Amino acid sequence: MTTFAELGLSEPVLRAITELGYEEPTPIQAQTIQRVSEGVDIIAQAQTGTGKTAAFALPVIEKLEADQRTPQALILTPTRELAVQVAEACHNYGKYKHVQVLPVYGGQPIGRQLMALQRGVQIVVGTPGRLLDHIRRGTLKLDGVRTVVLDEADEMLDMGFIEDIEAILQETPDDRQTLLFSATIPGPIGMIAKRYMKDPQRISVAAEKMTVALTRQVYYEVGGRDKFEVLARILDFETPTSAIIFCRTKSAVDDLGQRLTARAYQAETLHGDLSQIQRDRVMARFRANSVEILVATDVAARGLDIEHVSHVVNYDIPLDPESYVHRIGRTGRAGRAGVAITLVTPRERRQLRIIEGMIGQEIQRMRLPTIADVIARRREAFKESLREAVAAGGLESYTILVEELGEEYDPIDLAAAAFKLLLSEPEVPAEDTLAQQEVEERRPPRTAPGDFGDRPTGSRSGGGRFGPERGMSRLYLDIGRDDNVRPADIVGAIANEAGIPGRAVGSIELYDRFAFVEVPEQMAERVLKALKRTTIRGRKIAPTIARPQVAIPR
């Protein structure tokens, strides 16, 4: 395995990518970075989700002359969204080299771009049309440009930018380096290569077909939903006996581990920053089944031999298809059936198709379970354990109890009451916002009469009910979105400080300056006391029971 340091990156750049939580180069990065540093022209076939941005951005940043404040690199992208995203990535990677980056695109007032250009920038990222505008106005000086990157070249060609691209290439110095990144390599790219590139080297990360174990492979679309809420719903439905959840970076692992713990899932984390002793300890607990969920990066999970994993979840889709195969190879071992679940955002659909192509099979899309589905699944599991308990016998002392009560009540009613107490199921809400998005686009929220001028957000929104849910108390908190509070902060504070499981916390409505949260009635006083002692996002709070106990109609 190559490391970033072995690719010749300098300390400030290494520090930035370490902080971002990258542990090792992706295949496209391993193949590209050094060659770009050597100055050769490159045609790389790689799609979004492979780490292609860092593959060109890191070596481009390495080569910048710190004291030269004119554009040294030009990056062309098909859309403004991508321009902004690539500019942000360059800014992050170049943080400790104090790299000056500017995104330019149509639709943004040109005056602001002019001012920034005058102040002096080193990397300009933009859509071809707007870049050409600046070149023609003489506001973008190209004499100092040493590298030109064509990002998502096939998309730019599809959008009809070929003439603009050619015009830009003609305006840049002849001795520049040209890098072309594209998911596909259609004919016109050959023409660009011939006219504007010098002996380009071809790099491709398309891997050979690989076969995977007989694991049930499914995916869920995240869409516009909170990814964490989607995961929580899936975990509640699947009730894994032991699962590994993969994230892309160390920071993502830590973050997810914390959020899961705050919701009372038994989760531990594993990544490269842990000492060997810490890792061994985590692994021992996982093997002994005293931890249900292991959240890990690819690197940390590599080489682990874990026999009993029922579920592998790709919280982040893997950056290269091969690691998909490695990841899911951890489930379904030793004759046990396993499930591999991948969460896919709209941008990542293409990456999913590539993985399917490589493993030579389709990954089935699943509909997000509703709360009613979760309850039904739990009942099935409960029935199964009842059957086992009856078969195992040893029920004598309980039989006496049933006989006693049987004189007073009908045995069916008795059993039903016992199940109700045991299962303590949540009530199915009128609206299941999370699952509902599956079938319809999110409708614009209704405005309340006498609206507060802002709208609540909350991953556990109360869904238009009047008054708290039965058995719950509604608390008023004098903090809100303006204090950068997220629903997770509130759940976390209640779970940690009052020592109640995050799952017991009910709906949260978050407004600009205040929030409502529902907690089980009998715990309300305890939660109030605990919250008064603590801070949320660094702020002291004065929580009270919300009066009157009704929700604001939405």
Q: Are 508 and 460 in contact (CB under 8 A)?
A: yes
Minimum distance from CB of 390 to ligand AMP (Å)?
A: 51
Q: Does 25 bind ligand AMP (CB under 6 A)?
A: yes
Minimum distance from CB of 499 to ligand AMP (Å)?
A: 35
How far is C-alpha 523 from the chain's CA centre? 33
Minimum distance from CB of 327 to ligand AMP (Å)?
A: 14
Q: Does 249 bind ligand AMP (CB under 6 A)?
A: yes
DSSP alpha helix (H) spans, 341-444: 349-359, 371-392, 396-406, 411-423, 433-436
Across the beta sheet with 508-510, what order do the strands follow?
508-510, 515-520, 472-477, 544-545
Number of H helices, E strands in the chain: 21, 20
Q: Are 306 and 330 in contact (CB under 8 A)?
A: yes
- Please give the full DSSP string across 336-361, using - where no structure is assigned: ---EEEEEE-GGGHHHHHHHHHHHTS
Interface segment toward ligand AMP; rule CB under 6 A; list 48-56, 133-141, 408-416, 484-492: 48-56
* Nearer to ligand AMP among residue 54 and residue 260 (C-beta): 54
Find the angle CA(242)-CA(248)-CA(252) to the nearest 5 degrees.
80
Minimum distance from CB of 318 to ligand AMP (Å)?
A: 10
- Burial of residue 461 (number of CB atoms within 10 Å: 0-12, 13-18, 19+): buried
Minimum distance from CB of 21 to ligand AMP (Å)?
A: 7
Q: Are 331 and 310 in contact (CB under 8 A)?
A: yes
* Nearer to ligand AMP among residue 296 and residue 523 (C-beta): 296
- Please give the full DSSP string across 195-264, using - where no structure is assigned: HH-SSPEEEE-PPPP----S-EEEEEE-TTS-HHHHHHHHHHHH--SSEEEE-SSHHHHHHHHHHHHHTT
Residues 312-331 within binding reach of ligand AMP (CB under 6 A): 319
Q: Does 502 bind ligand AMP (CB under 6 A)?
A: no
Q: Considering only residues 32, 36, 52, 165, which one is a binding residue for ligand AMP as defined by CB under 6 A?
A: 52
* Nearer to ligand AMP among residue 91 and residue 248 (C-beta): 248
Q: Considering only residues 50, 127, 242, 261, which one is a binding residue for ligand AMP as defined by CB under 6 A?
A: 50
Q: Does 370 bind ligand AMP (CB under 6 A)?
A: no
Interface segment toward ligand AMP; rule CB under 6 A; list 49-57, 231-239, 502-510, 533-541: 49-57
* Nearer to ligand AMP among residue 343 and residue 505 (C-beta): 343
φ, ψ for residue 124, nearest 5 deg = -115, 125
Q: Does 93 bind ligand AMP (CB under 6 A)?
A: no
Q: Considering only residues 248, 263, 311, 330, which one is a binding residue for ligand AMP as defined by CB under 6 A?
A: 248
* Nearer to ligand AMP among residue 50 and residue 122 (C-beta): 50
How many Cβ atoms from other residues are within 10 Å of residue 430's Cβ? 8
Minimum distance from CB of 28 to ligand AMP (Å)?
A: 8
Interface segment toward ligand AMP; rule CB under 6 A; list 18-26, 114-122, 220-228, 288-296: 18-26
Task: Give the count of alpha carbons within 13 A of 361, CB side only.
Answer: 13
Q: Does 78 bind ligand AMP (CB under 6 A)?
A: no
Kindly list the residues in this chain that would bind ligand AMP in the complex (CB under 6 A). 22, 25-26, 29, 48-54, 248-249, 319
